Structure 1
Amino acid sequence: MNLESVVLQGRYVIIEKIGSGGMSNVFRAKDLKLGRLVAIKVLREEFCYDINFVEKFKKEAQAAAGLLGENIVNIYDVVDEGRYHFIVMELVNGITLKEYIKMKGRLDITEGVSIAIQVAKALKISHDQHIVHRDIKPQNILITNDGKIKVADFGIARAVSEQTANANAIGSVHYISPEQARGGRCDERSDIYSLGITMYEMFTGRVPFVGESTVAVALAHLEQAIIPPNVYNNKITASLERIILKCTKKDPVNRYQDISSLIDDLENALLNPDEPPYEVSGSTKVIKAKDTAVLNKVEPINDMTDEEQDNDYENKQENSDYDDDDYDEEDEKMDKIMSIVGVILAAIIVIVLVFFVGRFTGVFGGKKSDTSHSKIDSTQTVMPDVVGLSEKMADKKLSDNNLQMQVKSSEYSDTVEKGSVISQDPEADEVVSKYSKVSVVISLGSDSLDMAKMNLVGKTKEAAESLLKENGFSVDTKEENSDTFAKGTVISYSPTKPKKGDRVTLIVSAGKKITKVDVPNITNMSESDAKALLEHSGLVLGKKSEQNSQSVAAGFIMGQSVSSGSKVDSGTSIDYVVSTGLAESSEAESEQQSSQVGSSTEQSQTTQSTQGTKATVAPATTAAGYRYIASIDTNYSLEGMIGPGASMTNIKVMIRLKQTVNGSEVYSTLMEARTVTGDTILPVRFRTIVGTNGVDQGQVEIVNVDTGEVLKSYTVEFFKVE
């Protein structure tokens, strides 16, 4: 599907293809109305013929268009045009999370958790409106150039999954939930599962299940136990690992029941990475000894490749008679396991205590503890660092350290995000009394306005000035010539992010830079010579017509639309007539001219009765030694006039020539009335139109025969040909 340079809805100019998927192709485009770049997702042709699917696709996209959030790719419009069905959405400059993981191998814990929180916040907005994404995967998570996370394709996967059995259109099988794999009912917990698989890949650099086919991977989601991510990355904290494993439980009942609980646990894992994972929100389930035993069954694998690790783990699974998600031991076995675990835990605790005592006393070397902190008593605590955290997260972190947060003031900041902490008093690492107050300054965000959001480019000077003044800016204007922007419209502005009250300079188009040039004489020249001469003079060789001639050899120019010596604007097109030599049959030529002119009385009566217009038929060209001729070569799309549903509409049209002769309107038929469908592209191509002698202008009109309405009119110039 090549749509480059196509204009959709007379508004969106397709620039280039930037991606494709199982159900659509994605293009970069320019919104001419608002002067901004957008992304346009066009439904693939194989889906366009299923009316039910198209309606579902549009309905789901329109529902998703109501989702607004800083972590969501916004949908601007859902449109049809003929056989094209497309969604206009925010253009995100950046890369996908999938590409980012490939670049880095696996993500830093803090960075990955921050990304997961932003994705979860986008899902919260969606889930609050009862919209399930159904296709959460790194390919649908975008990282902008300024580091912000955006989630794309809300609601679209639902239309695909409910209307077609094409697995390729639903998304990658590596991230689907078990209920999706078995074709069951999906809800918000399905998105939580897919986000858990995505987190697994972020921190390990791999997906948990692989196979030789999509069916094999889908079955793995249903049947295979997931290898704990810490096996592949020992930097994953116990609390983060438990969050991932809870998200990816095979039974939705055992997962987080809502996205808010997941967000709370992720934020806690970010603030307190070393906190024991015994209390994960969203469930009242207490960790049992058997859960610990299951995790301890997976031995760390340090000297194997990823593939060897997979094979080793699968071999262990094949020799086992149970699944670690489902098994239950007898009471006797549980007693044995708990005894073993108790011994192991006791040994670990003793080792850890000995190690830390040794470290602090210097027995094992290393740094001694900070003397200032080692002297704190039970009524004191060390001040944590909350600068850069959101107000909510800062309050929680201080509260966890037995401190009270007090907002001292709010200030504008170009570096600290709105709602986050700019500074704190006392500062981090100071020893303070427990339950004392900590003063913080909260960011109001930048007081600079992002001018791009005002869409000034392309607006008229007056509209742009009015909008700027309404927002408290002073305005200066400068004019520059432009070949692309209409005169009086804004080309650019500076600065790009002014503060309120600043002076903004608008660069306004003065139109094209025009100079007058002399038209050279191109008669009796070949086309190539005429083209070179015109270009040297700053002009363009225009439309070509052909005509018999007794005096000019075939292939040479016998006439030009603008006489030599005239002064015209540079860049003007000069139309021309090329000789075809002597006519082979004057009789045939006479019949053709008579047909084009349409001089019969019967035609005149038909035209008058059909159009309801007082007109006479152009007189037949006499046997004078010259004629007045014109030509036209273009197309007219009826669909632009009729709009949606054009293909289901019939219309009767004709094409005629209108000239004013001695004060009267004179018509001649160029194309007889015919019935066509409303999505027809009508060719308006007449190489030789013979007009009334002495009349140098006329209009070629496309007419609705039933109503007499002139749908389109083209002005044509006639010139005398000997």
Structure 2
Amino acid sequence: MNLESVVLQGRYEIIEKIGSGGMSNVFRAKDLKLGRMVAIKVLKDEFCTDLNFVEKFKREAQAAASLLGENIVNIYDVVDEGRYHFIVMELVDGITLKEYIRIKGKLDITEGVSIAIQVARALKTAHAQHIVHRDIKPQNILITDDSKVKVADFGIARAVSEQTVNANAIGSVHYISPEQARGGRCDARSDIYSLGITMYEMFTGRVPFTGESTVAVALAHLEQAMTPPSVYNNKISPNLERIILKCTKKDPANRYQNITELLDDLENVLLNPDTPYEISGSTKIIKAEDTAMLSQVEPIDDMSDDEYERDDKEEEDDDDDYDEEDEKMDKIMSVAGVIIAVIIVVLLVFFVGRFTGVFGGKGSDTSQSKLDSTQTKMPDVVGLSEKMADKKLSDNNLQMQVKSSEYSDTVEKGNVISQEPKADEVVSKYSKVSVVISLGSDAFDISKLNLVGKTKESAESLLKENGFSTDTKEEPSDTVPKGSVISYTPTKPKNGERVTLTVSSGKKVTKVVVPNITGMSESEAKTLLETNGLMLGNKAEQHSATVAKGIIIGQSTAAGSSVDSGSSVDYAVSNGVAPETTQASSEQLSQSTNEQQQTQPTKATVAPTSVAANYRYVGSIDTNYSLQDVIGPSSGLTSVKVMIRLKQTVNGSDVYSTLMDARTVTGDTILPVRFRTIVGANGVDQGQVEIVNVDSGEVLKSYTVEFFRVE
């Protein structure tokens, strides 16, 4: 059945299919006449061929259309067009209670009771007009985007259930009452049973009866005892459990006899969840005339009196056995009622005697005896919604006055933060109680702005647009590009609060001291530089009459300078004596070399150390270190890998240079720490010579060395 883009009755434009049930498909549509969105429920083809069923369906839907209530999905129109038979109804944006239970697993007690109350109010409206729903289940209960509960399909279930067994929705069997499973007469108490099963599922996350087939589940409703819901959820209070179990009694005479009784108990358990009280109607004796009145709550239709008589006669044949059980139960309940009444009278006499002192009790000393007729005890309304708090105070002859509204991170929006006077204080009746109502949290979840990874400027702009001022601080990062946001605090600031952005300053740079590589071969210089975290850079060649060929005669960065780790040091290598001066005397060779260096362009791109720096900072140390002090008595059998390094602080950063490469020695070794010329960083007059365990990184010994400037 593809109706998309079809306009029914020249008025309802079908937009899209939004659901499907056992008997119909549901479409989102637009009422072109009134300019509003509606839901249209179209009967499936297999139902449209039975004209008797279609007529019954339309009659039931028209009866339900008379229902109006804030917790009812209102029906606007019942229409035929050719082979299509459809109902136009209120469009509810939200999800079914079944989906909601599947998402949450088990509902919070307060939330679940609130949902049950709203369903009960919808049933109260329907039962007052003699309309029984017959198919109360989570799939027919909708929760809107603003948390309002709406009950759908009033009256329609009767038409479906009287069609064929196959017409029943597969899920309905888990919620049907025993009398429905038996095929007997249904009344308002059947809806109460189904609501009880729905509450069971809300608070436990499961239905009470399951089976391999619909017949097995139906038989379980008739014969199987129900596991108390508190077995699956220990948060269910005794009061709430008694309500659920009373709703789901197999004999309708033992259930709530009308929806008003159930609604009163649900509201009571919401206001006073842990206060013991007698469940409504628990000692009430059901009279035959009461049962007859309740059994009349049927939909109003166009059946004639003769048809009603025939219908009633057929149902009487099915209910003979059931009526006999009712008579037996009435007798039992009558006897039980007398016994319970006697017990209550005895208890009342006893407690009155205790309070008046007749039995020598201490009742006259209780706080209650101190209250006169003009006083009452202040109830606790903190945490309740504004509406529930007002009702609770009103029930105690007090008036609620909203003093102010405040933001709260702990109290839900619309609930009471505080009250004055406090709970349990004795106050005058009809006095005013000041309450502060929560506006909810004013904290803003910055994660929605996705600031991490954005540039500093972009993040600041976004925060400013949302009413926040900013501070920034920099921090090195190997993963976040320079200038981008690493993190922020706080994560959920309040309105107007300052937000601190941590911005990447780029990769962390370590400073190192450049060693002196002049006089070394290229391989030696390369090893020394890499040991100190540097690289051998570009090579230049230069003739020299005094330095052997292949030996470094100059470096681009002066020894002792502090540079970034990973930097390159360019160098110049001696190319030996110039060819044309090989036969000259040493004096001539020297003079020729000087002249040649002055007159000919050189290939060197670096300057000799003597040119790069006119001075150095030099220190020395001469001592010994016994590893036995660290390793202990068995040191001769133990080896350790150690190195010696120089540590200095240059421009606020720690820089290191290697004095002795890593080597393995036994624990009984006396390690000489003798370095007569240690070149340090320029301008730094102190450092530490450290002996380090290479494997663990532990500094075994540290010596302070003074450095002196040498021209």
- Which TM class, normalised by the smaller chain length? 0.3 to 0.5
Higher Rg: 2
Q: TM-score normalized by structure 1?
A: 0.45
